[in-house]
Amino acid sequence: MAYSMPRDVFLLLEAAFNQDRDKAQAFAKAIECFAQTIEDQVQDRITHKSEVLKAELYNELRTELATKELMRVEIVGIRSEFAEVRAEIAGLRAEIRELRAELNQIRLLLKVLIGIAIFGLTLFNPAFVRLVELVLK
């Protein structure tokens, strides 16, 4: 953007140069060129700073993305550990089913043994033996 000196400032310059319009215009032109040069330098610095900031931001985002990649690896590891735990739980459930089946067999065997014991005690009881003798006679 070109810098243009205000009219009242130019009139002050003209008065400072004893109404010499050519010298005032030359000095005003030098000031305008100086202002334009400063503006160009500022614009260059802004552009350079913008590029530096973009590069820094890009590098920070790359490290963040790398961190996200590491998180994905960790999540995959955790999921595999969950699968292992689920497999262990399934194995424990199968073992519990087997133990329950054995326990049911032991209960049945215990009931049979109790029945045999009661039958044996009843069979060899002297009162029962006399009762059987009386019934069979």
Contacts of 13 (CB under 8 A, 6+ apart): 5, 24, 27, 28
pLDDT of residue 52: 93
Strands (E), 1-137: none
User: How many angstroms separate the CA atoms of 66 and 72, rounded?
Assistant: 10
pLDDT tens digits, 114-136: 999 998 888 888 888 888 888 88
pLDDT at 3 over 80: no
pLDDT tens digits, 56-89: 988 888 777 767 778 888 999 999 999 999 999 9
Q: Helices then strands (H, E): number in the chain?
A: 3, 0
pLDDT of residue 12: 78
Mean pLDDT for all residues in the chain: 87
The full set of domain ranges for the chain reads: 7-136
Tokens (6 digits) for 62:
């790359």
pLDDT at 108 over 90: yes
